[in-house]
Amino acid sequence: MAQAETQRADLQEPSTPAGRMTFWGALMRNGVYQAVSTTLFKSQRRQFWILASLPLFWIFFANLGPIVEMFWIGFLDSYPPKVGYEPQFTLANWAAFFQDRVFIIPFFRTLAFSFIFTAITLLITYPVAYFLAKHVSRKNQLLFLLLLLIPFWVGEIVRTYAIMILLGNNGAVNLALKSLGLIERPIPFMYTGFSLGVGIIYLTALYMLLPLYSALEKLPDNYLEAAADLGAGAWTRFRRITLPLSKEGIASGCTLVFLISTGYYATPVLLGGPRSTVFAETIAGFFHVAGDQWPMGAAFSSIMLIATLGVTGLFLKLMGRDGKGMMR
Amino acid sequence: MTKFITNRRQFIKSSAAGAALVAAPAYLRSTAARASGVVNVWTYANFIPDDFKAEFEKDTGIEIQIRLVDDQGKQFNLLAAEAPNPTADIVTVAGHRFLQFISADLLAPLDTDRLGNWSNINPIYSESDWATINGNKWGAPILSGAEILAYNTEVVSEDEVKSWDVLFSDKYSGQTAYTIQDMMSVVMLYKGYDGNMVAYMDDPEKAAEIVAEARDFLIEKKPHVRKYYDAGAEVQQMFINQDIVLAHAWNGPIAKLITDGFPVDMTIPKEGTYGFVYTLNVANNAPNSDNAYKLLDALLANPEVGAEMTKSSGFISTYKGADQYLSDIEKKASSFTEEELAGLQFFRAEANEMKYKLVDPAVEQIKAA
């Protein structure tokens, strides 16, 4: 009833001060409009779906659409389409991955690198997040977070070049070590697994830090005080209270960092070396080479996506998060 | 459930605005590609000098929209993906990749009658055998380059760079860089084979053996290389940062370092190397082909423009008399001795299909090894 009243109120004829009918007024008196709008706004559920349609369209067509298309291209024998040739369905692109160790090595290297970098990022950022959440005043917390956010206002490439400037033979680190008399010849940091690790950890640290900070900030201080009163030492308090209660943040942070690490392309290209080729570079190779290599690239991209989602799912299961994101 | 829509008028306005926003990209894209005062050029960094661009736009009212490319294969794929209605009017194809683009129907034959300044190109380039395919010209040669050996003159002596051997030596281990794909051709030549693989077109088994030999050689030498790189800017950066002292490179990026006064030089070793020519081509079914021809003719108008292109890109101009407008250091940076030039041969396209079917997987194997 109330809804019908609202609809009737909406149909009041808007007019200008001079009494002339406005466009909206004319539209609302239109029978077709009235029939359509009454049907559309019959219930709140319909209103919800009308409002949700655009975001859902965006999610399915702009985000999932390209992934689905990439998955499909992986089953074609030729792409982009050639004039006068109908692409055929094939499993050869998927089979190729398992037939040559050339592809399997960078694939597992990528997963191993991502796993290691995720673990290191967690170890580095956990104390920082704890310090921010528990030992910094509310006002200063925002300031610190802002300072940590500032590098993220510039692009991935710019930050990668910053690492290059730091770690190059002529870079700041080598120059500092030289001026301190610690080295005579520059240490070749660049184009190694080390420089790649520094770059990836630097680029992904915030994705780990924010979920951790969010989880640790919610941790009630009186839990820790109660544990201390009962005689628990610092390590026991951390192991029995802080760590379990920040598990949610660890799971979120590790998931984000792992997924992002496996997908990085520009950073490994710029910072990695001959012995640290990652799978993203292998995939990119298929798209750079002229000819019918896109289907192979698409299949390999899909394999990487399935693998990373699988590993992430397994990790979340091990962390004890169920489908609703609740701690068991 | 919360009431989401309180006012239908608001809803209609919002929906209209939303629809307009959704439709906008498609509209903008089509108008950007087909605007009468636009020419869309896919080319490498610094190939079209800034001063020329500004002057051309001022004189003609045609805006040059540049999309940077850094790889022939990538450019081929992008153009193929857009066919038969490309957004590009002009693309930049290396002479030895013509066949691939032509057979895929991606280029329009070049109507040289529409280019009043065609004769300003040195005939060595404009009338060479690779420039005419199926009785047509397909591009305007603008810059030429070569795969060269670059070295830091403060560390590596001139005598040491007489051969490609130095790039694989223990002495400079960990201080070298190259692009694997190009290096495969150079290594074949270095080992006494035809890196163009034209000689093995009737003997695919021999071709496969040679590629395998070159691949195994580069895998064996992998511990010595500091970096496999892709773009000219990367090799410049590595020399500046002193991460490397030796590299296989294209002459353009190294020439830029030389003219900037960096202690680097380049040479063509005694085993020889491959040269290439960059050409500007009108894309098949280009949206603004008239503007494309206007731009091409303006680019070819006088040797000074050619010299500017050399200055901005580092590659050697194909225009007659362009060197008159170069300083001594610029001439030095864009020329080779007679002895060096004796070892220069151009990349050829005839065997490309066979060659790259063998080379591409080999490149991946080297990376993964």
pLDDT digits (tens, 9 = 90+) for A12-36: 545 555 556 778 888 888 888 888 8
Q: Please name the residues in contact with B194: beta carbons below 8 A apart, sequence gap of 6 or more.
A: B188, B200
CB neighbour class for A190 (10 Å; exposed up to 12, middle 13-18, buried from 19) = buried
Contacts of A270 in chain B (CB under 8 A): 234
Q: Please name the residues in contact with B31: beta carbons below 8 A apart, sequence gap of 6 or more.
A: none
Confidence at residue A122, expressed as pLDDT on a 0 to 100 scale: 97
The span from the CA of B333 to the CA of B175, in Å, is: 23
Contacts of B363 in chain A (CB under 8 A): 285
Query: Per-residue pLDDT tens for A73-93?
Result: 999 998 877 767 888 999 999
> Do A279 and A107 contact (CB within 8 A), yes or no?
yes
Query: Per-residue pLDDT tens for B73-94?
Result: 889 988 988 888 999 999 999 9
Query: Per-residue pLDDT tens for A279-288?
Result: 999 898 888 7
Give which of B366, B172, B170, B189 is closest to B269, Cα–Cα.
B189
Smallest CA–CA separation between B61 and chain A, in Å?
34
Distance of alpha carbon B250 from the chain centroid: 9
Confidence at residue B8, expressed as pLDDT on a 0 to 100 scale: 46
User: A129-154 burial string, b = 16+ CB within 10 Å, else e?
Assistant: bbebbeeeeeeeeeeeeeebeeeeee
**Of A124-128, A233-237, B210-214, which range is least confident?**
A233-237
For chain A, percent of residues with pLDDT exceeding 70: 90
The span from the CA of B345 to the CA of B188, in Å, is: 13
Low-confidence ranges of chain B (pLDDT < 70): 1-36
Mutation target for B interface from A8, A45, A100, A288: give the one with most B CBs within 10 A.
A288
Query: Per-residue pLDDT tens for A177-228?
Result: 999 999 999 999 999 999 999 999 999 999 999 999 999 999 998 898 999 9
Task: Provide the token pair at B41.
Answer: 């050029």
Contacts of B18 in chain A (CB under 8 A): 54
Residue of A nearest to B104 (CA): A82
Q: What are phi and psi of B248, to 5 degrees?
A: -80, 135
Instruction: Give chain B's radius of gyration (CA, Å).
Output: 23
Q: Does B123 touch chain A (CB under 8 A)?
A: no
Give which of B319, B313, B336 is closest to B148, Cα–Cα.
B336
User: A68-104 burial string, b = 16+ CB within 10 Å, else e?
Assistant: eebeebbbbebbbeeeeeebeeeeebbebbeeeebbe
Give which of A120, A108, A106 is closest to A254, Cα–Cα.
A120
Give which of B145, B98, B143 is closest to B305, Cα–Cα.
B143
Task: Provide the token pair at B168.
Answer: 């694989």
Asked if A80 and B9 come within 8 Å (Cβ–Cβ), the reply is no
Identity of the residue numbered B313 = S
Residue of B nearest to A44 (CA): B3
The pTM for the full model equals 0.77
Q: 209-248 in B: which are within 8 Å (CB) of A?
A: 222, 225-228, 230, 234, 237, 240-243
Would you say residue A151 has pLDDT above 60?
A: yes
Mutation target for A interface from B10, B79, B226, B244: give the one with most A CBs within 10 A.
B226
Query: Per-residue pLDDT tens for B254-283?
Result: 999 999 999 999 999 999 999 999 999 999
User: A246-256 burial string, b = 16+ CB within 10 Å, else e?
Assistant: bebbbbbbbbb
Q: 58-87 in B: which are within 8 Å (CB) of A?
A: 71-74, 76-77, 80-81, 83-84
% helix / strand / coil in chain B, to the nearest 5?
50, 20, 30
Q: Does B21 touch chain A (CB under 8 A)?
A: no
Neighbours of B85 (CB within 10 A): 13
Confidence at residue A79, expressed as pLDDT on a 0 to 100 scale: 84
Helix (H, G, I), strand (E, B) or coil at B355: helix
Confidence at residue A102, expressed as pLDDT on a 0 to 100 scale: 83
Query: In terms of DSSP H, where are the helices of chain B?
Result: 8-34, 50-60, 72-82, 98-103, 123-126, 180-190, 204-220, 232-240, 251-259, 289-299, 303-313, 328-333, 338-341, 352-368
Q: What are phi and psi of B346, to 5 degrees?
A: -85, 150
The span from the CA of B282 to the CA of B284, in Å, is: 6
- Which residue carries 């109660």 as its tokens? A226
Of A190, A275, A285, the CB nearest to B364: A285
The span from the CA of A36 to the CA of A45, in Å, is: 16
Of B3, B18, B225, the CB nearest to A47: B3
Q: Label the pairing between strands B246-250 and B176-178.
A: parallel
Contacts of A285 in chain B (CB under 8 A): 360, 363-364, 367
Residue of A nearest to B18 (CA): A54
Task: Provide the token pair at B19.
Answer: 């629809």
Asked if A80 and B83 come within 8 Å (Cβ–Cβ), the reply is yes
Smallest CA–CA separation between A184 and chain B, in Å?
15
